[in-house]
A and B are shown apart, each in its own frame.
Chain A
């Protein structure tokens, strides 16, 4: 059994244990859940030890027949991008569980769902068989539906079903895309093996079918990202979800979409993607600016953070679109790799930063003020010095302040994209300005200015909250000041994907 398999199934094993614990034994349920997510985090780190940093290809592959009759296998493996995202997943799930230790309503179901969700997310990043991939992809939907629907805010039922319906539309469109790929492999070689399908590129030059399959995948990933105009489920889901659910949604589930674009859309349909790259870049830029402007208009801090996600995911998609647009241009291979590298780094940065931001909203809303109106605070830094420092750092990181993680990623995206898509990139740069404006304005309204006497007696971060927030802030600073090892690591997969995109068959 490889380290990936162990990482993948540790949370599920935890879920099984929780399933058989008595419903009211809250302590033991929490401990099992903490142990399972903690071990999964350690296991994902251990995978780094097995990883060969000299190779760009997918490695640590493990495979076993699953449904041999139809060519389906259990096949997992990682390259630097998927491993980094997997570590992000295990870290953020662990942090969410730590934060959720205070959840006291329907504890058993809560932890059960979180653990299943973690296996689902990890499976998406590990899977190298389309059938397996699809199973894990869908496995993330159901727990999130329940997490929003049971533990969410006042409009939770609406938000939960909207999330479920939207993402299911996309998934099923992708399923048709997968089947089109499968049936267009030469008979006798039909397989769901991702690597072999990428190698064979069964739909290259197949005209309409290739377009249909591309847009099938596109719909699925674009809804997940979410790209404008498929984003309307996001504000509802993020705002109504319980804090830890929002963290996972923003930090990981959105990444499933961008990961899909990089892992599947780019190498499978390079021609079609290039054909539509300009258009997709326009959607990305609209997302950047629209997300920023709408965020600026929010008075609800959670909604503000939610819309800032639309904005940030727009940067990621700009980088991906630039990589697609540069296909076949040897002179642009360098910038394309830079843009893609930035996009992948932005996925990680957004995961860490926005994960932290949702926790920050939760800290003030769940157990203290029970309100998150941006205008209802003021001078909060003086009252809650530790909380203020953490929150302000995270917001600076999100607006792209140099020296913090977000800046590095956005810088790479802009540098890379500018050579390929100059106009789009220039417009997207506007988004940076607006983002800076609304975050600074938010900091001013909440943390600076005259102290609102209503909140004079709020307690500062407790241990549980500190344990969940501080590691994220540390990561923002470390990778902001010294990003080189991470950038070099991610560059392995970025250059590999660029090479696959350029490869002519």
Chain B
């Protein structure tokens, strides 16, 4: 190993140092000034984001799509950098929103910010890990901090339930995944994704079994059917900013790891997983959607919808044969980041004001908080995929990838599911705009939340109306450092 290789790890070092610094800052600040911890966290994440952009530029000057370091266990490529930016942005926005949320519910808000930064470090590792053990460790790292975050509100039984449930499901799926990894290792004699690839063709059914079991672990992280059962209860019980975080951060990183593992280590000639993934995608889309239909609680509705969106993202993974597959995934993840975070932020704002997560309590929001209602309506339409929003652009890419890869039936099923989803997303719009308010008084809008909402809304519109710069980014970031 070469010491200069360490410069590729600067973003990770920054985030790790930041997390430790936050612990110290937390110790030194008085109880009223815990916001300082959050601000330092956001600042540090911004610095780390700059460092990621630096790595991207460095890769550009080297004229390569990526480098392998630390004895091939860690791959810094444009693909990973994209997901690192997603993780940093998500973490920053959630901390910002958390500063308006946690102080109202707990005496110790600052530890949640620290914990989020630790989780972010795990997400960065997940995006780059190219060796089974490191992959497993980074997934576990993210899981552990996520369990804590889900159960963060000690006084709330639901939050406790969320933490425990998440832990039990997570522990089980990690076990299965570890077993799958050990099968792959046993059969190929290597844990490096790059070395597994050429050997996999010879190993036959063991490989299939290993891949299938590994899918369980990724499926858990991204809430894919049939590993989705934890999602609604955890999403409902966890503090809402954490729900927002879980629905985007670990999900995106899970897809990054899944795609790297499948595309790099398991060539489709060896084990044709694309049909299997297509079936899982169809199941996730449909089951998530159908279960979302009767929900009245916005967090549960968004939980089931996030299962369905995981199914949509899997369309891109299944379409691996198409050149559109990875761009489609990246575009969809970007669109989903802004849209879904925005939807949760709006839900936080409403629940802080009216003390409820029930959709009927959104009645008359268009009169009580016109801007928030408009933004929420925008997010709902984007989740359906109505142009000109980011969500439409994402779905457009997904359907393109599916058709290009010959999965017309999957695209058609995606269409059917989009129509079904309209019904429950519009339920929120209906409450906000069509139903009269119980009390027409304006509701308070904390500044941090408003800013985060504005960022999400702007992102949702900008990706829909002027996607060209974003497409340029995605087209370079889709380049994944493949094997030999």
Give the distance in Å from the alpha carbon of A212 to the alpha carbon of B426 in the complex: 29
A139 adjacent to B388 (CB under 8 Å) = yes
B399 adjacent to A139 (CB under 8 Å) = no
Q: Which residues of A contact B418 (CB under 8 A)?
A: 168, 172
| Residue in A23, A141, A175 whose beta carbon sits within 8 Å of that of B370 in the complex | A23
Indicate whether A139 sits within 8 Å of B434 (C-beta atoms), given known contacts A172-B418, A173-B415, A183-B403.
no
Stretch of A85-93, A157-165, A338-346 contacting B (4+ beta carbons < 8 Å): A157-165
Give the distance in Å from the alpha carbon of A420 to the alpha carbon of B419 in the complex: 38
| Residue in B399, B433, B468 whose beta carbon sits within 8 Å of that of A150 in the complex | B433
Shortest distance between the CB of A167 and any CB in chain B (Å): 10
Q: Mark A279-321, 1 if CB is under 8 A from B, else 0.
A: 0000000000000000000000000000000000000000000
Q: Which residues of A contact B471 (CB under 8 A)?
A: 67, 69-70
Q: Mark A122-154, 1 if CB is under 8 A from B, else 0.
A: 000000000100110011011001100110000
Which residues of B in the span 455-484 have a Cβ within 8 Å of any Cβ on A?
467-468, 471-472, 475
Shortest distance between the CB of B154 and any CB in chain A (Å): 42
Q: Which residues of A contact B403 (CB under 8 A)?
A: 176, 179-180, 183
A176 adjacent to B472 (CB under 8 Å) = no
B434 adjacent to A157 (CB under 8 Å) = yes
Instruction: Say whether chain A's binding surface is mostly helix, strand, loop, or mixed.
Output: helix
Give the distance in Å from the alpha carbon of A399 to the alpha carbon of B166 in the complex: 67
Whether B387 sits at the interface, judged by CB under 8 Å, is yes
Closest chain A residue to B370 by CB distance? A23
B475 adjacent to A142 (CB under 8 Å) = no
Give the distance in Å from the alpha carbon of A149 to the alpha carbon of B419 in the complex: 18
Stretch of B143-151, B287-295, B334-342, B404-412 contacting A (4+ beta carbons < 8 Å): B404-412
| Residue in A135, A160, A173, A179 whose beta carbon sits within 8 Å of that of B388 in the complex | A135
B388 adjacent to A164 (CB under 8 Å) = no
Indicate whether A164 sits within 8 Å of B426 (C-beta atoms), given known contacts A70-B471, A176-B408, A182-B400.
yes
Q: Which residues of B contact A69 (CB under 8 A)?
A: 468, 471-472, 475
Q: Which residues of B contact A160 (CB under 8 A)?
A: 434
Q: Which residues of A contact B368 (CB under 8 A)?
A: none
A135 adjacent to B387 (CB under 8 Å) = yes
| Residue in B422, B434, B472 whose beta carbon sits within 8 Å of that of A168 in the complex | B422
Give the distance in Å from the alpha carbon of A68 to the alpha carbon of B466 in the complex: 11
Shortest distance between the CB of A224 and any CB in chain B (Å): 15
Q: Which residues of B contact A176 (CB under 8 A)?
A: 399, 403, 408, 411-412, 415
Closest chain B residue to A149 by CB distance? B434
Indicate whether A142 sits within 8 Å of B386 (C-beta atoms), given known contacts A69-B468, A161-B423, A161-B426.
yes
Number of contacts between A and B (CB, 8 Å)?
Answer: 75
- Interface residue tally of chain B, by bracket? 20 to 34
Indicate whether A146 sits within 8 Å of B433 (C-beta atoms), given known contacts A67-B468, A161-B426.
yes
B404 adjacent to A149 (CB under 8 Å) = no
Whether A66 sits at the interface, judged by CB under 8 Å, is yes
Which residues of B in the span 390-445 have a Cβ within 8 Å of any Cβ on A?
392, 396, 399-400, 403-404, 408, 411-412, 415, 418-419, 422-423, 426, 430, 433-434
Whether A17 sits at the interface, judged by CB under 8 Å, is no
Whether B381 sits at the interface, judged by CB under 8 Å, is yes
- Interface residue tally of chain A, by bracket? 35 or more
Q: Which residues of A contact B396 (CB under 8 A)?
A: 131, 175
Give the distance in Å from the alpha carbon of A180 to the alpha carbon of B412 in the complex: 12
B400 adjacent to A179 (CB under 8 Å) = yes
Which residues of A in the span 212-243 have a Cβ within 8 Å of any Cβ on B?
212
A175 adjacent to B430 (CB under 8 Å) = no
Whether A169 sits at the interface, judged by CB under 8 Å, is yes
Indicate whether A165 sits within 8 Å of B419 (C-beta atoms), given known contacts A67-B467, A67-B468, A69-B472.
yes
Q: Which residues of B contact A135 (CB under 8 A)?
A: 387-388, 392
B399 adjacent to A175 (CB under 8 Å) = yes
Q: Mark B115-134, 1 if CB is under 8 A from A, else 0.
A: 00000000000000000000
Q: Which residues of B contact A150 (CB under 8 A)?
A: 433-434
Closest chain B residue to A174 by CB distance? B415
Q: Which residues of A contact B467 (CB under 8 A)?
A: 67
Give the distance in Å from the alpha carbon of A176 to the alpha carbon of B415 in the complex: 8
Q: Which residues of B contact A139 (CB under 8 A)?
A: 387-388
Shortest distance between the CB of B460 and any CB in chain A (Å): 14
Q: Which residues of B contact A182 (CB under 8 A)?
A: 400
Which residues of B in the span 358-406 have a Cβ within 8 Å of any Cβ on A?
366, 370, 381, 384, 386-388, 392, 396, 399-400, 403-404
Give the distance in Å from the alpha carbon of A134 to the alpha carbon of B385 in the complex: 12
Q: Which residues of A contact B434 (CB under 8 A)?
A: 149-150, 156-157, 160
Closest chain B residue to A137 by CB distance? B387
Give the distance in Å from the alpha carbon of A169 to the alpha carbon of B419 in the complex: 6
Q: Which residues of B contact A145 (CB under 8 A)?
A: 426
Closest chain B residue to A131 by CB distance? B396
Q: Mark A174-210, 1 if CB is under 8 A from B, else 0.
A: 0110011011000000000000000000000000000
Chain B residues at the A interface, C-beta cutoff of 8 Å? 366, 370, 381, 384, 386-388, 392, 396, 399-400, 403-404, 408, 411-412, 415, 418-419, 422-423, 426, 430, 433-434, 467-468, 471-472, 475
Task: Beyond A131-B396, A157-B434, A176-B411, list 9 extra A-B contacts (CB 8 Å).
Answer: A66-B468, A135-B387, A139-B387, A157-B430, A161-B426, A172-B418, A172-B419, A176-B399, A176-B403
Give 18 A-B contacts (CB < 8 Å), ordered by A residue.
Answer: A67-B467, A67-B468, A109-B366, A134-B387, A135-B387, A138-B392, A141-B386, A145-B426, A146-B433, A149-B430, A161-B430, A165-B422, A168-B384, A168-B419, A175-B396, A179-B400, A183-B400, A212-B408
